[in-house]
Amino acid sequence: MSQNPRIAIVGAGNVGGNLGIRFARSGYSLRFGVREGSNADDVIAKCEGKAEAASIPEAAKWADVIFLSVPGNAAVEATRSMGDISGKVLVDCNNPLKWEDGPVHTPPPEGSITAALAKAFPTARLVKGFNTFGAEFHLDPTLGNTSIDVQLAGESAEAKALVSSIATRAGFNPIDVGLLRNAAHLESLAILWIHLALRAGHGRQIGFKLLKRE
């Protein structure tokens, strides 16, 4: 894999848009996969000439790594619209939740969105990540005098290493948290982040860090 993997982003909203801007500013070329009738013009205008729009299957076909950032209940449908993604790294940034006086975790029967994607698309290489903090951090990962942690879960060490290298170059602090079964914990962690940020009064400028006693 080259030093410059080609990145596609499907879902150019709060998360995907900000992540795309961050990646472009970090030197990556990327394509936003957009649905017919939608566009990512505002985001692309902030990507310093490094991003363009394509249809979802075109963007997915072109890319080595595809970031998926759509409503949790649309993750499988959006991935299906990519066409054949055999061998591609699919980074699942999504969370399953509903709002009932606060965030409520609503995982699919497979246990996590990532597990549902892995079941539906067994030839893709799934990595869970970039889901445990608010979208402000996708644009700017600084947290105090350090960087926010991006926990990465998945079966393929090679895929995690690739996503990790992208995250590092973009200013995040990646941490390998093990196999795909741990994606469920990352989705739970995200629900906790939303509770702390939006219900418990801590605000959105918070993030989880793994600290070590020296």
In the complex, the residues that contact ligand NAP under the rule CB under 6 A are 10-16, 35, 38, 69-72, 74, 77-78, 81, 93-95, 131, 134-135
Least distance to ligand NAP from the beta carbon of 49, Å? 21
Nearer to ligand NAP, 35 or 213 (CB): 35
Nearer to ligand NAP, 16 or 164 (CB): 16
Nearer to ligand NAP, 158 or 184 (CB): 184
Least distance to ligand NAP from the beta carbon of 101, Å? 18
Least distance to ligand NAP from the beta carbon of 15, Å? 4
Distance CA 65, CA 42 (A): 22
Nearer to ligand NAP, 39 or 212 (CB): 39
Nearer to ligand NAP, 17 or 28 (CB): 17
Least distance to ligand NAP from the beta carbon of 36, Å? 9
Q: What are phi and psi of 14, to 5 degrees?
A: -55, -50
Least distance to ligand NAP from the beta carbon of 4, Å? 25
Give the DSSP letter of residue 66: E
Distance CA 214, CA 212 (A): 6
C-beta of residue 17 within 8 angstroms of C-beta of residue 43: yes
Q: What residue has token string 């741990």?
A: 182
Nearer to ligand NAP, 35 or 105 (CB): 35
Least distance to ligand NAP from the beta carbon of 2, Å? 27
> Contacts by 54-59 with C-beta closer than 8 Å and gap 24+?
54/8, 56/10, 56/81, 56/82, 57/33, 57/81, 57/82, 57/83, 58/31, 58/33, 59/8, 59/9, 59/10, 59/31, 59/32, 59/33
Question: Using CB atoms, what's the residue nearest to ligand NAP?
Answer: 13
